[in-house]
Homo-oligomer: A and B are copies of this chain.
Amino acid sequence: MTFEIAAIVREKTAQAIEILKEKDVDLWITFVRETSHVKDPVLDLLLGFDLTWTSALLIHKSGTRVAIVGRYDVSNVERLGAYNRVIGYDAAFQQPLIAEIEALRPRQIAVNYSESDPAADGLTYGMFRVLSRALAATPYADRLVSAEAIISALRGRKTASEIQLIKAAVNRTEEVLVQLQPYIRPGVADTEIAGFLHNFLTENGYGASWDWDYCPVVTVGPDAAGGHAMPSGLRIRPGNLVQVDFGISRYGYVSDLQRTWYVRPSAETVIPEAVQCAWDATTVALEAGRAALKPGVRGWEVDAAARRALVDAGYPEYMHAFGHHIGRTAHDGATVLGPKWERYGSAVEGVIEEGNVFAIELGVAVPGRGYIGREENVVITAHGAEYLIPPQEHLWIA
């Protein structure tokens, strides 16, 4: 783990204490094991490396931070410097865990489950049963509550150093997307474009912002599958739109951008009207969403503003959410800037806060041409949503 990440983990565990005070929750327990199998997403913020045996990270609003881990993980956690005490065990975690809880006498114990926020749902059902059984003979089994509000605040309120790291990732992403320009020409396959970007990741030691197989998504012309489809060998033809959706993971923080090219046939002197009008509509809708995106507003309100603007311009609704947090991951937890569809659950009811960083996105399919995709990354300040880097202002011509 790099020095930067260890420093951020110390920053985030300190921030967690402030959030516990604000939400008036006494104790928060992250309860995990074998995190190389199932990793509670909150470990990125509270630890930064894997744990093997059953482990509990206790954060109390008084400021106490205790890690109970298997003996072999003790030295890594001690060296991290984010916990006041590190308790190692050999055979069983139950006794030290119960002793710590009894010393703290919490009114509530927040644990990591959520029906609507995947980033706050790292406790497995098996581990919930293990914990419930361990606490069965104590008064504390009935005091378990969801930590979703704590995790959402902790993950969503980026510190200055987190924003800096995201911005750096976004910058590097824009740089390499610009370098794609010579590849956007008739005859080049989506797989070659993906290959160029994968090489860029490998050569720089970066990760993909989401699943490697479809990071980037490359949408070539009107026959591409769209969505999260992996590249399939489709080749660019004159008159195609080419959209690339790509992000990198660098020092643990990610970017998520889309850029769209129009492949102009040599005989053409102006962009066809249908293409230009669709582009302009996406600009209007993106800006309408961004204008609505400020502290105090709910996620669905932002989505509604962008969605309405696109429909008012005469185009169909996009079939996804307008925006999502980015940070440690490309879908960095609640709040989602999405419509009130069942599958978004309560994630769209969340309130925008200062320090949030979002990817905002939408698109329009142009018949016979392909797909125009827009995606930019913004940080929320007291004044509203500011672009982290200048957005794509016009179709890139190839």
Contacts and interface: CB of A to CB of B under 8 A. Distances in A.
A33 B228 contact: no
Contact of A40 (B38, B93, B214, B329): B38
A211 B36 contact: yes
Contact of A228 (B72, B92, B125): B72
Contacts of A50: 210-211
B74 A227 contact: yes
B41 A38 contact: yes
A269 to B, nearest CB: 36
- Interface size of A as a range: 35 or more
A79 interface: yes
A194 to B, nearest CB: 12
Interface string A174-208: 00000000000000000000000000001001000
Contact of A93 (B53, B227, B343): B343
Contacts of A213: 1, 49, 76
Enumerate the 4 nearest inter-chain pairs by beta-carbon distance, A residue then B residue, closest first: A72-B227, A34-B118, A121-B126, A92-B342
A122 interface: yes
Interface of A: 1, 33-34, 36-41, 49-50, 52-54, 70-76, 79, 89-94, 111, 113-130, 133, 202, 205, 210-211, 213-214, 225-230, 232, 319-320, 329-331, 341-343
A117 B72 CA distance: 19
A226 B73 CA distance: 9
Given A36-B211, A71-B319, A72-B226, A121 B127 contact: yes
A365 to B, nearest CB: 13
Nearest to A340: B91
A75 B343 contact: no
A335 to B, nearest CB: 15
A114 B126 contact: yes
15 contacts: A37-B119, A38-B39, A38-B118, A53-B343, A75-B229, A76-B213, A89-B343, A92-B342, A113-B125, A115-B126, A120-B126, A123-B125, A123-B126, A124-B125, A125-B127
